Every structure is written in structure tokens, then in C-alpha cells.
Amino acid sequence: DGGITQSPKYLFRKEGQNVTLSCEQNLNHDAMYWYRQDPGQGLRLIYYSQIVNDFQKGDIAEGYSVSREKKESFPLTVTSAQKNPTAFYLCASSGGMAGDTDTQYFGPGTRLTVL
Amino acid sequence: AQTVTQSQPEMSVQEAETVTLSCTYDTSESDYYLFWYKQPPSRQMILVIRQEAYKQQNATENRFSVNFQKAAKSFSLKISDSQLGDAAMYFCAPFSARQLTFGSGTQLTVLP
């Protein structure tokens, strides 16, 4: 089955710790994205990557870091510098069939809670 | 920068009836796409429908259709023959300059 997987589904972090959220896709998509969703709000872009070994900051990149060493994988690290990391994190990818390269498809998300 | 306004935080519809969700946006780009996504209680974001801004014809996808008014920068979603499974948060999202911008969403309740 082709799709996007995110792990873990739930993640708990103590203050001052870094944590890494996993995102993997087997859709052969070139672009991958990370979004944050706070309760009752829409999604906000953290980072995105159009190709391997390249990524760009989104609107709320402070306190986060990413890497793109493989086409299939785009992990997100939430650092201790992120002041309020408790949120729902969604990963997406795009770059499928010609004529549909801009449509983003989403993973199931990771719920991060800071204790 | 893009801005998106969904002026209806909550809406309800009777099962089998029709409902329209509104969305207005602002962009300086001339070439862009527009999307509606739904987010059910599972919180998975699911693509509902896609519209290319250069196309005058409104997109349709089974019971879902849009009313795209480019000059007015309006992009409403019509759901016909509403079903219980349509209950979800619906987000309007224009895509331009390689970025998708989400509105604050409309929570749709379907009444049996």
C-alpha cells in the first residue's frame, strides 16, 4: 500500500528534551512538508523540502530542525528551544502524477505533549 | 503572503440535505490552486476537492462541488445529499508560491 506513515502516534516529552518525529512516504513524491496544528486552528507550515538534501523554513520554523537525507524520509526534531511544543504535527508529501504535482497528501499525525 | 478567511466556524445540515461552506482568500499570485480538505475526529487530513485557478469550470467530485469566483477571490464548497460520514472540520487552502495556506476551518455537523 502506498502512503505516508508517521510515528509515534503519541509522544510525551519532558521540558528541556529534544524529540524527533518520524515521517516516511513510499509514494515516490519529491516534496515533503511538516505542519503544526493547535486546538481549533488550521495548519501552519514549519519546514518543507522540495528535493533531497535541501529544505526551507516555513512560517514557524523557530525551535524546530529537519533533515532530508533520503527521498522517502523527512524527520522533524522539536528542540528545547521551542517554547510551546504541545500540538498535533502533520507530515505531507506532494509530487505525484503529472497534473497533480501540487496536491499534498497527509500522514495520520503525531500528538506531542510536553509534561 | 496569502490570507484565508472561513467566516463560518460551525455549521449544521440535515442528513440528505445540501450545505455550502464559504471561503475567501487573498493572494498576489496569478497562477495558483485551491483545495478543500476535511479532518474527521481521527484528525487525518483528507483531500476533498482541487481547483486550478486558470480553469473557469468549477471542479466536482461526486457529491462535492465548488463555486470558484476568481475576481471575488471566493471558493465555496457545496456538499449535496449530506451523509453522517461528512461530519468533520473542513479547511479551505489556497496553494501558491510553493506553499499551502490553511483557513481556520468550519466544523460541520450532520444531523440524522
- Can you tell me the distance from the alpha carbon of A73 to that of A21, in angstroms, rounded to the nearest whole number? 11
The pLDDT of residue A115: 85
Rounded CA Rg of chain A: 14
Per cent of chain A over pLDDT 90 is 77
Residues of B in contact with A23 (CB under 8 A): none
Give the pLDDT score at A83.
86
CA angle B37, A27, B41 (to 5 degrees): 30
Q: How confident is the model at residue B43 (pLDDT cuts 50, 70, 90)?
A: very high
Find out whether B15 and B110 touch, Cβ atoms under 8 Å.
yes
Which pLDDT score is estimated for A1?
Answer: 60
Q: Please, how many CA atoms are within 13 Å of residue A28, restricted to the half-sphere of its CB?
A: 4
> At A16, is the pLDDT very low, low, confident or very high (cuts 50, 70, 90)?
confident
pLDDT at residue A68, rounded to an integer:
97
pLDDT digits (tens, 9 = 90+) for A66-108: 999 999 999 999 998 888 999 999 999 998 666 677 899 999 9
Q: Please, are residues A28 and A71 in contact by the beta-carbon 8 Å criterion?
A: yes
What number of other Cβ atoms are within 10 A of residue B57's Cβ?
8
Cα distance from B103 to chain A (closest Cα, Å)?
6
CA separation for the pair B1, A32 (Å, rounded): 21
Is the dihedral angle over the CA atoms A59, B8, B14, B109 positive or is it negative?
Answer: positive
Question: Of the candidates B44, B98, B105, which has its C-beta nearest A42's C-beta?
Answer: B105
Which three three-digit cell numbers place residue A58? Answer: 516555513
Which residues of B are less than 8 Å from A88 in CB distance? 43
Question: Three-state SS for B10?
Answer: strand
